[in-house]
């Protein structure tokens, strides 16, 4: 009886939530941005808006999609009600970027001994890499973009270190390219969205990659400081993987709003965990966005970047005004 009730709840709420997604989609207007340039009105918008992030404009006004409402399960009457809402996050995300690549398979890099290497990197000591050359050439651009989205530019340095080791010509075996290792499908969508001539030049790759990450952060704004970790996991292995991990976390009674809880659900995305998949997703018996046998990569990806971020905080001054008085000045090479 309980199973029948849950399925009825899912069937009832899915069409309703789908209609909401369609209404939101048709209410959104296209974001206008001059090719190859930062938002020209960014300074004015920063003065007009409050909070930690600037959001894409809707009919001339900032729109903050409150995903917290979508995943609020205070009543705990049905975990499948949460599930029915979570599976529509992709539609909300697409309204931000116009990118439909999440509907396809997510390709992530396979790396042998990933767990061993991830645990070893802290003990080996930190090497800043070629960061000083990149900061010299593109530091102003990175700071400008991060000022617009109101987050720490040193986090972007940490992402670049992990993604491309500060090599603008880096190309992965999966086809990801540039400083920010943007996948071709995602790059094409961002190129259209931001009206860039391309996303392969170093400057445009940074502009597109920072925008993409900022959009992911905006999706998790209701999670407080953990929004950066959730967004990193989504940047690495796809937003769908995060949604599936959050769904499992909610099902087993964990706190799906805390990264430390959600990351422990990543091993449960492996294909060997089909028994729990059949419980969480009784209709299909598998995660909505597919199984993830290489769950270690996003799991440790977040850990690495947070570590690098902390190290770059010791080297470079913050771009955030409230932190400037307590941070060190930029050191010389």
Asked if 242 contacts 214 with a C-beta cutoff of 8 angstroms, the reply is no
CA pair distance 20, 13, nearest whole angstrom: 11
CA distances from 102 to 85, 241, 242, 243, 286 (A): 17, 10, 12, 12, 17
Q: Which 8-state DSSP code applies to residue 285?
A: S
Q: How far is CA 165 from each of CA 127, 128, 157, 161, 170, rounded to the nearest angstrom?
A: 11, 9, 10, 4, 8
Distance CA 167, CA 184 (A): 17
Considering the candidates 99, 163, 221, 297, report the single residue annotated as catalytic. Answer: 163
Q: Cα separation of 190 and 195, whole Å? A: 8
C-alpha distances (whole Å) from 246 to each of 148, 207, 295 are 29, 29, 14
In contact, 250 and 73? CB cutoff 8 Å:
yes
> Is position 137 annotated as part of the catalytic site?
no
Residues annotated as part of the active site = 163
């Amino acid at each position: 009886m309980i199973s029948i009730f849950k399925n009825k709840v899912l069937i009832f709420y899915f069409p309703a939530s789908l209609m909401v997604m369609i209404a939101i989609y048709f209410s959104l207007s296209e974001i206008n941005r001059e090719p190859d340039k930062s938002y020209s009105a960014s300074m004015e918008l920063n003065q007009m808006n409050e909070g930690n992030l600037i959001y894409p404009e809707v009919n001339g006004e900032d729109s903050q999609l409150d995903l917290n409402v979508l995943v609020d399960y205070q009543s705990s009457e049905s975990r499948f009600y949460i599930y029915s809402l979570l599976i529509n996050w992709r539609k909300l995300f697409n309204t931000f970027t116009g990118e439909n690549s999440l509907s396809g398979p997510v390709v992530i890099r396979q790396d042998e001994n990933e767990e061993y290497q991830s645990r070893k990197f802290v003990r080996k000591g930190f090497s800043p890499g070629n960061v000083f050359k990149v900061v010299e050439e593109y530091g102003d651009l990175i700071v400008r973009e991060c000022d617009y989205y109101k987050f720490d530019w040193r986090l972007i340095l940490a992402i670049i270190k992990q993604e491309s080791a500060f090599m603008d010509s880096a190309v992965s075996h999966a086809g990801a390219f540039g400083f920010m290792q943007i996948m071709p499908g995602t790059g094409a969508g961002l190129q259209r969205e931001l009206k860039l001539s391309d996303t392969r030049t170093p400057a445009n790759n940074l502009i597109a990659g920072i925008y993409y990450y900022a959009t992911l952060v905006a999706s998790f704004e209701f999670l407080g400081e953990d929004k950066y970790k959730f967004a990193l996991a989504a940047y690495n292995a796809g937003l769908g993987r995060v949604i599936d991990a959050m769904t499992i976390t909610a099902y087993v009674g964990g706190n799906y709003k805390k990264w430390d809880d959600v990351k422990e659900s990543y091993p449960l995305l492996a294909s060997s965990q089909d028994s729990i998949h059949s419980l969480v997703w009784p209709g299909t018996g598998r995660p909505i966005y597919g199984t993830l046998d290489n769950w270690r990569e996003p799991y440790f990806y977040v850990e690495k970047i947070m570590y690098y971020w902390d190290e770059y905080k010791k080297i470079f001054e913050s771009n955030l005004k409230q932190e400037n008085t307590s941070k060190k000045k930029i050191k010389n090479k």
